[in-house]
Chain A
Amino acid sequence: MTNSSYTAFKTMVHRDFTLAMRNRSEWTNPLFFFFLACSLFPLGIGPEPNTLERIAPGIIWVTALLAAMLSLESIFRSDFEDGSLEQLVLSPYPFTVLVYAKILVHWLVTGIPLMLLSPLLGLILHMPADGIGLLMLSLLIGTPVLSLIGSIGVALTVGLKRGGMLLSLLILPLYIPILIFGAGAVDVGLGGLDASGHFLLMGAILILAFTLSPLATAAALRVSI
């Protein structure tokens, strides 16, 4: 990244972060959903600790994934509607760099809070302390993948009026590997086995998504606008 591209990246991060702080509902609503949906499971299934502990990683991962999906629209929607996206595409800096910045801010305002909230939900679902550590680590590696892959879907559907359903159809199948390995890592760890294999595979998926998805997102946005 050249010096000027780095400046553009920093400027973009600063702008999107400022906007996110001024428009809190966009990222707090998915967090409320995450918290409420997870806390409904003990009420529906019953307060049996063994059952809850058994299914807790899956519940937390699935609700985190859905919460991340709820917030995906905010990455490009408002920029598309007010014409800022056109200006970004026409800026003299590589568009992919600006897309990287937007995805980073999305992860900072949704992925990180999801990860930080997960210990509390782990406690509600009777997860042991070492399981909570694994859960946080799996979300730390997994949530950037959710933002990165999700951005491709949003970029493809941002020009459509009712793109929400299509977005789910496009994105959910691509989320399956990270869901399996994320929830699996915590499960395996709770069973007393070594979870490093799962984490390495998640890391590989993260590197793949980090390398390719902003390029795909930038290309999809050029088509959508």
Chain B
Amino acid sequence: MPFILHLYHAILSVQLFLIKYSSMDLADKLTPSLQVDQLSCVRNDIELFSDLNFKLQSGQVLQIEGANGCGKTSLLRILCGLMLPADGQIKWNNSNIQKDRLRYNNDLAYIGHHNGIKDDLSCEENLQFFLSLGNTKDDINVDDILDQVGLLDKDESLARKLSAGQRRRLALARLLMTNAPLWILDEPFTALDPKGRELIEGYFDQHCSQGGMIIFTTHHAVALEHSQIQFLRIGHDKQ
């Protein structure tokens, strides 16, 4: 009789373990996460940051802070996979981003210092190109997107004729088209007027409420209505 009880107990334990394990696995699949372990960056023989660890999960916003030249852009480029870190690793959904690069690229939208738009293409052509080459939503109408960022009357204009703020809006319009859950943005508010900034903050809120995550740098004060911003200070003067 005790033997049967032990056996029953053992089977029950295995079942509980399996249930727990499978639910963990399912949870990991359902909620994307970006994990940074022991990251360090060296440029021109100078260590910009070291032993950086953080984890970002669905719905979270992370603002990178630091003085000029402390390595914010380098960090974002490393997070995108454009640069290799001196040490450490970055995992997207528990797999190293360098190992499964195309899948990571599919889940990533990056807007850097440069807008990544072609001056000799019109606004509409620039967005059409992104539509064909990016991971974008299915029912996208380019005119609607241009309308939302306030560039509908410029749809036929070449991008070179736009002002710096309008070019930034055109670059950020890609965020409205992408399906990617992870946004990495380097100074997204540069050159934008207060209305443009408000617009982008609205997209941030919307993206996070839909389970997306954002990492960005800025020197502006950002206020999101529905999401809490976490801060990460890098550089040697960090507190």
Q: Out of A7, A15, A90, which one reaches B110, CB within 8 Å?
A: A90
**With A11-B132, A82-B115, A89-B82 already in contact, 4 other A-B pairs whose C-beta atoms are closer than 8 Å:** A18-B125, A83-B112, A87-B116, A92-B102
Give A residues with C-beta under 8 Å from B.
7-8, 11-12, 15, 18-19, 22-23, 78, 81-84, 86-94, 225
Give the Cβ gap from A159 to chain B, nearest Cβ, in Å: 12
Interface centre among A12, A18, A78, A83 (most CB of B within 10 A): A83
The number of A-B residue pairs with CB atoms under 8 Å apart is: 65
Q: Which residues of A contact B30 (CB under 8 A)?
A: none
Residues of B within 8 A of A91 (CB): 105, 133-134
Contact A83 B115 (CB under 8 A): yes
Partner of A23, one of B112, B120, B133: B120
Given A11-B133, A83-B113, A225-B82, A92 and B120 contact (CB-CB distance below 8 Å)? no
**Top 5 A-B residue pairs of the complex, sorted by shortest distance between their CB atoms:** A83-B114, A92-B106, A83-B116, A11-B132, A87-B116
**Shortest CB distance A5–B (Å):** 10
A18 pairs with B121, CB closer than 8 A: yes
* Sampled A-B contacts (26; CB under 8 Å): A11-B129, A11-B133, A12-B133, A15-B121, A15-B129, A18-B120, A18-B121, A19-B121, A22-B120, A81-B114, A82-B115, A82-B117, A83-B114, A83-B117, A84-B117, A86-B80, A86-B82, A86-B112, A87-B110, A88-B133, A90-B81, A91-B133, A92-B102, A92-B105, A92-B134, A93-B102
Query: Is A86 a contact partner of B116 (Cβ separation < 8 A)?
Result: yes
- Tell me the bound Cα distance from A81 to B113 in angstroms: 11
Are A90 and B105 interface neighbours, CB within 8 A?
A: yes
Known: A82-B114, A86-B82. A93 touches B133 (CB 8 A): yes
Q: Which residues of A contact B113 (CB under 8 A)?
A: 83
The interface residues of chain B lying within 8 Å CB-to-CB of A86 are 80, 82, 110, 112, 114, 116
Contacts of A15 in B (CB 8 A): 118, 121, 125, 129
Q: Which residue of A lies closest to B125 (CB)?
A: A18
Q: A7 touching B118 by the CB < 8 A rule?
A: no
B119 within 8 A of A: yes
The answer to whether A84 and B118 have CB atoms under 8 Å apart is yes
Interface size class of B (residues with CB under 8 A): 20 to 34
Output the least CB separation between A109 and chain B (Å). 14
Whole-angstrom CA separation of A93 from B136 in the bound complex: 13
- List B contacts of A23 (CB < 8 A): 120
Q: Chain B residues near A11 (CB, 8 Å)?
A: 129, 132-133
Verify A8–B133 contact, CB threshold 8 A. yes
- Bound Cα distance A11, B105 (Å): 18
Q: Does B135 contact A (CB under 8 A)?
A: yes
CA distance A79 to B113 in the complex (A): 14
B80 to chain A, nearest CB (A): 6
B80 closest partner in A (C-beta): A90
In the bound complex, CA of A93 to CA of B132 (Å): 11
Determine whether B152 belongs to the interface, using a CB cutoff of 8 Å to chain A: no
**Chain A residue contacts of B81, Cβ below 8 A:** 90
Q: Could you tell me which residues of chain B, from 108 to 150, have a CB within 8 Å of some CB in chain A? A: 108, 110, 112-121, 125, 129-130, 132-135
What 1/0 flags go to B88-110 for Cβ under 8 Å of A? 00000000000000100110101
- A116 to B158 Cα, complex, angstroms: 32
Q: How far is the CA of A84 from the CA of B118 in the complex (A)?
A: 7
Distance between A176 CB and nearest chain B CB, rounded to angstroms: 34
Q: Which residues of B contact A93 (CB under 8 A)?
A: 102, 133
In the bound complex, what is the Cα–Cα distance between A19 and B117 (angstroms)? 12
